[in-house]
């Protein structure tokens, strides 16, 4: 079987398109590269959607935590502590068990039955956990950035007569993003890494449709040779990490475009936000 044929059969296997049975014997390098690469679709799906949605919740939480009013500050503080203080692995298990306890038949709300079976599936359940988790971590980063917005910038905004929403949108928020962006890049990298936990933590891989590490483990278990599939998965993740750094670098340059070259903060690898 040629490699092109393998890619056609297994390239989209992780989302249920193509050959139904996974290869069982005579594993070729091509099969391993294709299937593990196919699994990366899930890692991208979880990572990108959780990041996009999490960005907005994180901003809201950061502003709430920075608030003077306890009614906003306390819930934000507790939310951030809950998700940053416990392991993501435990959060996945807990969420799965909690979702599985919802009534199978669904809720009757206003005469319509709301189905609940979808939430125990990885595509929804794990995404919700990752969304909350990344929001909490990013909120802490943005909160730190919010605290270090230069006083002069705020005073300048006041001097221009800006208040409330205008001041936030034009001055506070862009400065917060600019200051927090290098750390936020780290958060994004580790979020993508954290997506590998999904199929090892309670959420079942439906019809053997799993992520990159799920397939890597499949091959390692079948061939008793860890030296090929895991480095392949590692290779894909290094590529993904480089892409994340590139994309976030472009945004970072845009956020800092008004500053002279040397005063821009560069991205530095800081592993304080791993789960």
Partner 1 sequence: MFESCSDPSALHGLGWLLCYLTTGKQIMFYGSFGIVLILLAVTAPVALIFGFGGALAARSSAAPLRFLGRGYIAMVRGVPDIIFFLFVPIAMDQGLEYLKSRAVCPDPGPAWTGNEFHVCASAKIPLGTAPQFYHEAYGFALAVVAFSIVYGAFAANVLFGAMQAVPRAQLETAEAYGMTRAQVNRRVLIPQMWAYAIPGLSNLWMILIKATPLLFLLGIEDIVYWARELGATKSSIYAYPHPDWRLYYFLVLLVFYLVMTKLSEIVLARINRRLAFGQATAAGEALRKADA
| Closer Cβ to partner 1, 29 or 242, answer by number | 242
Site residues for partner 1, 27-46, by CB under 8 A, read 27
| Closer Cβ to partner 1, 173 or 214, answer by number | 214
| Closer Cβ to partner 1, 20 or 268, answer by number | 268
Q: How far is the CB of 41 from partner 1 (least distance, A)?
A: 16
Query: Does the protein bind partner 1 through residue 165 (CB under 8 A)?
Result: no
Q: How far is the CB of 182 from partner 1 (least distance, A)?
A: 14
Query: Does the protein bind partner 1 through residue 89 (CB under 8 A)?
Result: yes
Longest dimension (CA), the chain: 73
Q: How far is the CB of 247 from partner 1 (least distance, A)?
A: 15
Site residues for partner 1, 205-234, by CB under 8 A, read 213, 216-217, 220, 222-227, 230, 233-234
Per-residue b/e over 26-51, b at no fewer than 16 CB within 10 Å?
ebeebbbbbbbbbbbbbbbbbbeebb
Say how many residues touch partner 1, by CB under 8 A.
Answer: 49
Show the binding pattern over residues 232-261: x = contacts partner 1 (CB under 8 A), - = does not: -xx--xx-xxx-------------------
Figure out which of the listed residues 3, 17, 29, 82 binds partner 1, where binding follows CB under 8 A: 82
Stretch that binds partner 1, among 64-72, 76-84, 114-122, 148-156 (CB under 8 A): 76-84
Site residues for partner 1, 98-137, by CB under 8 A, read 98, 100-101
Angle at 49 between CA 142 and CA 121, to 5 degrees: 125
Stretch that binds partner 1, among 1-9, 88-96, 143-151, 153-161 (CB under 8 A): 88-96
Among 185, 54, 198, 182, smallest CA distance to 124 is for: 198
Interaction site with partner 1 (CB under 8 A): 25, 27, 81-82, 84-91, 93-94, 97-98, 100-101, 189, 192-194, 196-197, 200, 213, 216-217, 220, 222-227, 230, 233-234, 237-238, 240-242, 269-272, 274-275
């Amino acid at each position: 079987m040629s490699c092109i044929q393998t890619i056609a059969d297994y390239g989209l296997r992780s989302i249920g398109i193509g050959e139904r049975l996974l290869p069982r014997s005579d594993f070729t390098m091509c099969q391993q590269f294709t299937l593990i690469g196919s699994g990366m679709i899930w890692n991208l799906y979880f990572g990108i959607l959780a990041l996009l949605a999490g960005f907005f919740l994180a901003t809201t939480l950061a502003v709430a935590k920075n608030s003077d009013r306890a009614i906003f500050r306390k819930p934000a503080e507790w939310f951030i502590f809950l998700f940053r203080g416990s392991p993501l692995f435990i959060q996945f298990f807990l969420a799965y068990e909690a979702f599985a306890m919802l009534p199978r038949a669904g809720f009757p709300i206003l005469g319509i039955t709301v189905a609940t079976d979808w939430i125990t599936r990885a595509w929804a359940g794990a995404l919700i956990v990752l969304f909350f988790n990344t929001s909490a971590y990013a909120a802490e980063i943005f909160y730190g950035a919010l605290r270090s917005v230069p006083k002069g910038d705020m005073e300048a905004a006041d001097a221009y007569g800006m208040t409330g929403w205008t001041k936030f949108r034009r001055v506070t928020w862009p400065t917060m993003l600019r200051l927090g962006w290098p750390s936020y890049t780290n958060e994004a990298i580790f979020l993508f890494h954290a997506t590998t936990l999904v199929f090892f933590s309670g959420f079942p891989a439906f019809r053997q449709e799993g992520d990159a590490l799920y397939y890597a483990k499949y091959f390692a278990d079948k061939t008793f040779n860890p030296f090929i599939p895991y480095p392949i998965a590692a290779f894909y993740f290094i590529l993904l990490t480089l892409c994340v750094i590139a994309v976030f670098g472009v945004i970072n340059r845009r956020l800092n475009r008004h500053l002279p070259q040397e005063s821009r903060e560069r991205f530095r690898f800081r592993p304080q936000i791993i789960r």
